[in-house]
Amino acid sequence: MTVTSVDVIDVRFPTSRSLDGSDAMNPDPDYSAAYVVLHTDDGGEGHGFTFTIGRGNDICCAAIETLSEHVIGTDVDGPAALADLYKRLTHDSQIRWLGPEKGVMHLAAAALVNAAWDLAARRAGLPLWKYLTTLTPEEIVACVDWRYLSDALTPEEALALLREGENGKAERLAEIEQDGYPAYTTSPGWLGYSDEKVVRLAREAVADGYRQIKLKVGADLEDDRRRFAAARAAVGPDIRIAVDANQRWDVDQAVEWTKALAEFDPWWIEEPTSPDDVLGHAAIRARLAPIKVATGEHVQNRIMFKQLLQAGSIDFLQMDAARVAGVNENLAILLLAKKFDIPVCPHAGGVGLCELVCHLSMFDYVSVSATMEDRVIEYVDHLHEHFLAPTVVKGGRYQAPTEPGFSAEMKRESLLQYAFPNGPEWRSN
Amino acid sequence: MTVTSVDVIDVRFPTSRSLDGSDAMNPDPDYSAAYVVLHTDDGGEGHGFTFTIGRGNDICCAAIETLSEHVIGTDVDGPAALADLYKRLTHDSQIRWLGPEKGVMHLAAAALVNAAWDLAARRAGLPLWKYLTTLTPEEIVACVDWRYLSDALTPEEALALLREGENGKAERLAEIEQDGYPAYTTSPGWLGYSDEKVVRLAREAVADGYRQIKLKVGADLEDDRRRFAAARAAVGPDIRIAVDANQRWDVDQAVEWTKALAEFDPWWIEEPTSPDDVLGHAAIRARLAPIKVATGEHVQNRIMFKQLLQAGSIDFLQMDAARVAGVNENLAILLLAKKFDIPVCPHAGGVGLCELVCHLSMFDYVSVSATMEDRVIEYVDHLHEHFLAPTVVKGGRYQAPTEPGFSAEMKRESLLQYAFPNGPEWRSN
């Protein structure tokens, strides 16, 4: 049950051709994955990836190759082994210089950590979210790298939170399996879409059962006001409409621009400024209240999330499955969010991020937060067809994954077709 | 005068064999450079690099290759062209996803930006520090990427600071050429050294004219107390001894450990915790006063430095020449430090960092800060022999570089000997 080899594949989808995914900072993304398969000596496989938007995906692949030396020869069966692996991947003393715990090397660690958890969950014959709920509070706490966290949360406090979470766990697990977890959709709101398309997709979203949608903003204020007004008119006052500036603004501009959208009742303003700017977010939030502030998809690690919570910078924490170092670091982030009582509303979309992150939110509900109040998982309706166990959303709710593993596995034909630069999709264009 | 090609070379020195550079988080670094040469159509060359400590240097080289597309075909002569290049390198909309502005891609941008400035300074026939002093306040301001800074410093404020810096500039320039800039040395204090070696090197440092030395701490408190006591006894009470924990601690531990060293009169505690932890540093500084706090060598970009200054997290700002995106981003950092009146005491050592960063401090003195009070540049006495215009320290002061350019050029025979993995040095070991 030892990992004997690691395959790394550069997969890119030409999403820039249709402006799917276009926003104020990312005008033409090609949704991509630095994709990894762990092979074990008994024929097992673990699949994982990190998400990028095109150029540089090859560098993430190279980083995964370099980090693979920490995986080969390892037995990744069980939480203790997974914790060891995570720490080896993020604390290689020479590689740490390139971060620490951020950027390309951290994205690469995410791919490998997630693949290792996929393997462990498959071994257990459970979908990852359910596998996580079988771990004891002690095992979960031991999965976390506690370095740099103790001024906000100690292992002892985390243990107490998780023990508290044992109450009602069976009921919540049954509820997840029955009803799933609420979603919101960003599909109507890409910046490259026409007003007509936004309105049509917004109406369809409501008809499909969503209670929240999201619009991209930040390129042109008059465009934003016009699109927001149209979307609000289309869905009425009871549907939450979040807006997302994708880091476009400085502090003052974020406040002014968002206030100019206030009449259309934004539910949150997402990424108003740099993801690095803890104090900037805190200032924006203080000046914009009661409009809420959300961020997280680009927040590099648990240390930054800790500070966003300590400084009162956010109303919603937007965990990403593959930006921080995979499942282990996200366990720390879920525990921090619980301590500070801030709802986790994960970032998803891209390619495969929906498939991954819903596992973490479902575990969060069963074992940590024990509530779905104001919690929603982002959903974007593209590229799911490439996965063996794609996300299923019904009536505006993520359905609980049932296949063993982390739902990360892509179809072999997709990997071949979209391999960059030599797959047929890229050779012919 | 257009860049026509970019050479990228992976150079590594086997410093781990002698424990030069060993500290609490980096037990066995192999000082390395992802080294770049820009070639122009008129036969010009610009040299630059980013510094790493071994594994992963190849990934930085790959990142430089990827970013090179933004350099090829560019004319980098003059500050406006350099500003354009810097922004293209840090704002490629797809590559930005891998940071933004941090980690491997940012290190790669640093190498290219620094090489471009080397080229520009050579063209001007001036050492970089002096070339920078010939730029107008308007030109300097235009070199900065102002995004995310305006809540702390606006271009207009920066312009006023630089215009103020015009007073007495000629005198300060003459002073730099005559007397150089104060240095301190870390050479005595590596964690892998015996007490005897620490004492001997500390005495030699004082005999050589240094008024400040630095010791590595953080692995074992009793060892730290013994070594610090020995070093203090060796140099007496008037020599400043800084201590450096290289990110080893959480907040409480940083406070307790440093207090346990207080009787030996530490001048500053450097990197007490994660470089990402703005609020952690602020808490440590508040609890340790009057012991001072320093950080910066791992601070990823201008946005983090902005917050360290806004939150009152540091007494000394330790700029690094190749961690942030080279000269342009360091101009922003110098201006922020001036605004908040915090001394810049650059990080150096590694390979070539002394050669680079002294240019920035000398420019800072002439055109920005106009003071050397409590300012010192780190100096470490190894690997200078590989450079064509190595750093010269006399009487504990960096002498002003006189050769045109940024002093980044390594000897051709060193590049060949230490090329990784195929240079003779690595093939034979």
As a three-state string, the secondary structure of A29-65 is CCCEEEEEEEEECCCCEEEEEEEECCCCHHHHHHHHH
Nearest CB among A93, A105, A274 relative to B104 is that of: A105
Q: How far is B166 from chain A (nearest CA, A)?
A: 29
On the question of pLDDT at B364 being above 90, the answer is yes
* Placement of tokens 């993304």 in the chain: A29
Beta carbons of B182 and B377 less than 8 angstroms apart: yes
Beta carbons of B102 and B318 less than 8 angstroms apart: no
Does the beta carbon of A388 lie under 8 angstroms from any beta carbon of chain B? no
pLDDT score, position B123: 96
Instruction: Give the residue numbers spanning the domain of B80.
Output: 3-130
- Which of A270, A297, A349 is closest to A20 using CA atoms? A349
| DSSP three-state, residue B54 | coil
For residue range A197-214, list pLDDT tens digits in order. Answer: 999 999 999 999 999 999
pLDDT score, position B27: 78
Q: How far is CA A1 from CA A76, A77, A365, B20, in A?
A: 8, 8, 31, 40
Q: Is residue A151 part of a domain?
A: no
pLDDT score, position B429: 60
Alpha helices (H) along B92-181: 103-124, 128-134, 137-143, 155-164, 169-179
Q: Is residue A265 part of a domain?
A: yes
Q: Cβ contacts (< 8 Å) between B106 and chain A: which residues?
A: 103
Show which of B68, B101, B130 is a domain's final residue: B130
Provide the CATH number for the domain around residue B100: 3.30.390.10
**Residue A92 backbone zone (phi > 0: left; psi -120 to 50: alpha; other: beta):** beta
Q: How far is B252 from chain A (nearest CA, A)?
A: 7
Mean pLDDT of the region B57-67: 98
Q: Are both B281 and B200 inside the same structural domain?
A: yes
Q: Is residue A142 part of a domain?
A: no
Element (H, E) at A162: helix A155-164
Token pair belonging to B87: 């922004």
Q: Is residue B425 part of a domain?
A: no
Nearest CB among A55, A63, A97 relative to B53 is that of: A97
Q: Can you name the residues that pair with B189 across neighbouring β-strands?
A: B215
Q: Are both B281 and B400 inside the same structural domain?
A: yes
Q: How far is B97 from chain A (nearest CA, A)?
A: 6
Mean pLDDT of the region A122-139: 98
B-contacting residues of A 148-187, CB under 8 Å? 148-151
Mean pLDDT of the region B342-356: 97
Exposed/middle/buried for residue A19 (C-beta within 10 Å: 0-12, 13-18, 19+): middle
Residues B95, A56: C-beta atoms closer than 8 Å: yes
Q: Are both B98 and B193 inside the same structural domain?
A: no
- The better pLDDT of the pair A190, A215 is held by A215
Q: Rounded distance, CA A382 to CA A16, Å?
A: 13
Spatial CB neighbours of B279, under 8 Å, sequence gap ≥ 6 = A278, A307, A310, A311, B311, B313
The number of C-beta contacts closer than 8 angstroms across A and B is 190
Element (H, E) at A68: none
End-to-end CA distance of chain B: 42
Task: Provide the 8-state DSSP code for B419.
Answer: B
Interface test with B, best of A58, A276, A323 (most B CBs within 10 A): A276
Q: Are both B215 and B112 inside the same structural domain?
A: no
Q: Residue B188 half-sphere exposure, CB side, CA atoms within 13 Å?
A: 31
CA B335 to chain centre: 16
A-contacting residues of B 397-426, CB under 8 Å? none
pLDDT score, position A8: 98
Does the beta carbon of B45 lie under 8 angstroms from any beta carbon of chain A? no
| DSSP three-state, residue A381 | coil
In sign, the C-alpha dihedral spanning B1, B3, B5, B8 is positive
Q: Cβ contacts (< 8 Å) between A153 and chain B: which residues?
A: none
Provide the CATH number for the domain around residue A373: 3.20.20.120
Q: Is residue B423 part of a domain?
A: no
In sign, the C-alpha dihedral spanning B360, B337, B97, A218 is negative
Q: How far is A305 from chain B (nearest CA, A)?
A: 10
Residue type, B342: I
Q: Cβ contacts (< 8 Å) between A8 and chain B: which residues?
A: none
Q: How many CB atoms lie within 10 A of CB A18?
A: 12
Give the confidence band of A193 by pLDDT, cuts at 50, 70, 90.
Answer: confident
Q: Cβ contacts (< 8 Å) between B103 and chain A: which residues?
A: 98-99, 102-106
Spatial CB neighbours of B341, under 8 Å, sequence gap ≥ 6 = none
Q: How far is A148 from chain B (nearest CA, A)?
A: 5
On the question of pLDDT at B330 being above 90, the answer is yes
- The better pLDDT of the pair A188, B209 is held by B209
pLDDT score, position B25: 77
Q: Are both B16 and B112 inside the same structural domain?
A: yes
Token pair belonging to A170: 């069976």
On the question of pLDDT at A90 being above 70, the answer is yes
Q: Rounded distance, CA B302 to CA B324, Å?
A: 8
CA B284 to chain centre: 23
Residues A63, B59: C-beta atoms closer than 8 Å: yes
Per the prediction, chain B carries an average pLDDT of: 96
On the question of pLDDT at B77 being above 90, the answer is no
pLDDT score, position A25: 77
On the question of pLDDT at B181 being above 70, the answer is yes
| DSSP three-state, residue B133 | helix
- Which of A210, A200, A189, A265 is closest to A232 using CA atoms? A265
Nearest CB among A148, A298, A307 relative to B100 is that of: A298
For residue range B241-252, list pLDDT tens digits in order. Answer: 999 999 999 999
Give chain A's domain count: 1
Task: Provide the 8-state DSSP code for A368.
Answer: I
Q: At what angle do helices B57-67 and A57-67 cross, to 10 degrees?
A: 170
Element (H, E) at B183: strand B181-189
Q: Rounded distance, CA A53 to CA A48, Å?
A: 17
Exposed/middle/buried for residue A76 (C-beta within 10 Å: 0-12, 13-18, 19+): buried
On the question of pLDDT at B362 being above 70, the answer is yes
Q: Taking the CA atoms of chain A, what radius of gyration do you get in angstroms?
A: 20
Q: Are both B237 and B350 inside the same structural domain?
A: yes
Token pair belonging to B51: 């510094």
Residues A62, B59: C-beta atoms closer than 8 Å: yes
Q: Is residue A1 part of a domain?
A: no
Q: Rounded distance, CA A281 to CA B124, Å?
A: 42
Catalytic positions of A are: 216, 347
Nearest CB among A52, A105, A151 relative to B280 is that of: A151
Residues A102, B107: C-beta atoms closer than 8 Å: no
Residues B278, A275: C-beta atoms closer than 8 Å: no
Strands B316-317 and B45-52: unpaired
Q: Can you name the residues that pair with B39 across neighbouring β-strands?
A: B5, B45
Residues B26, A93: C-beta atoms closer than 8 Å: yes
Give the confidence band of A409 by pLDDT, cuts at 50, 70, 90.
Answer: very high
A-contacting residues of B 315-334, CB under 8 Å? none
Q: Rounded distance, CA B39 to CA B178, Å?
A: 34
pLDDT score, position A23: 77
Q: Cβ contacts (< 8 Å) between A63 and chain B: which residues?
A: 56, 59, 104
Q: Rounded distance, CA B62 to CA A296, Å?
A: 28
For residue range A280-328, list pLDDT tens digits in order. Answer: 999 999 999 999 999 999 999 999 999 999 999 999 999 999 999 999 9
Q: Is residue B293 part of a domain?
A: yes
Does the beta carbon of B102 lie under 8 angstroms from any beta carbon of chain A? yes
Interface test with B, best of A22, A274, A301, A347 (most B CBs within 10 A): A274
Beta carbons of A243 and A215 less than 8 angstroms apart: yes
Q: Is B70 annotated as catalytic?
A: no
For residue range A5-61, list pLDDT tens digits in order. Answer: 999 999 999 988 877 777 777 778 999 999 999 999 999 999 999 999 999 999 999
For residue range A62-82, list pLDDT tens digits in order. Answer: 999 999 999 999 988 899 999
- Taking the CA atoms of residue B362, residue B364, residue B365 and residue B368 in that order, the dihedral angle to the nearest 10 degrees is 160
Q: Rounded distance, CA B136 to CA B142, Å?
A: 10
Reduced DSSP (H G I as helix, E B as strand, rest coil) percent helix, strand, coil of chain A, to 5: 45, 15, 40
Q: Residue B130 half-sphere exposure, CB side, CA atoms within 13 Å?
A: 20
pLDDT score, position A429: 60
Q: Which residues of A389-426 are buried (b: 16+ CB within 10 A; e: fewer)?
A: bbbebeebbbbbbeebbbbbbbeeebbeebbbeebebb
Main-chain phi, psi angles of B412, to 5 degrees: -60, -40
Q: Is residue A95 part of a domain?
A: no
Contacts 24+ apart (CB under 8 A), A222-225: A224/A257, A224/A261, A225/A260, A225/A261, A225/A264
- The better pLDDT of the pair B342, A23 is held by B342
Select which of B130, B306, B347, B386 is catalytic: B347
